[in-house]
Amino acid sequence: LAQKERELRSSQMNDSLRAIRAAIGYKSLMYRTSVRKAKSYRKKLRSFDEIRVADEGLMKHVRNYGHARDCVIRLFDPRTADAAALQSHKALLDRYKKIQRTDLRVTTDVIEQFTQGVRDLHASWIWHVEDSEPGSEGEWLQQCE
């Protein structure tokens, strides 16, 4: 029963990560299309209101992910588990790390490979988890990647 629960929670974390990536991509698109192109102070303030609403949606998905990850941690009982269960639990927790505030950073710049000073900049682990087939993301997410 615990194995089935881990599989369900893993799927829930995949769904949450997909939604987090979509929300970050949408937020990045809003910065590029609304905030930067705003001609007046009023339009800029309204654009920031839209971004705040998008950020609240993002944090909802982060909470869902954290709840599912905490449930997976509590599902494992080291007293009754064998070595294979311990290894699969460790692999699951290595794949689904705890989300930090820096992982949710929005990048609004288009950075080319030859730009100086960006050699050590890497995308967060959120963008490298394989949980969906390529091309199934939204348009703003494909632009963000």
DSSP 118-131: -TT----GGGG---
Residue 17: pLDDT band (50, 70, 90) is very high
pLDDT at res. 62:
95
pTM of the model: 0.72
- Computed over every residue of the chain, the mean pLDDT equals 77
A 10 A CB-CB count for 49 gives: 11
Percentage of residues in the chain having pLDDT higher than 70: 71
Better-scored residue on pLDDT, 140 or 41: 41
Query: Long-range contacts made by residues 79-88, C-beta under 8 angstroms, separation at least 24?
Result: none
Site of tokens 């609004």:
108
Burial class (CB in 10 A: 0-12, 13-18, 19+), 130: exposed
Q: 86-108: per-residue pLDDT in tens? A: 777 788 888 888 988 888 877 65
List all residues 6 or more positions away from 89 whose beta carbon is below 8 Å from its beta carbon.
6, 72, 76, 81
Phi, psi of 133 (to 5 degrees): -80, 145
Q: 110-128: per-residue pLDDT in tens? A: 555 566 665 666 666 777 6
pLDDT at res. 92:
82
Indicate whether 130 pLDDT > 70: no
Indicate whether 15 pLDDT > 90: yes
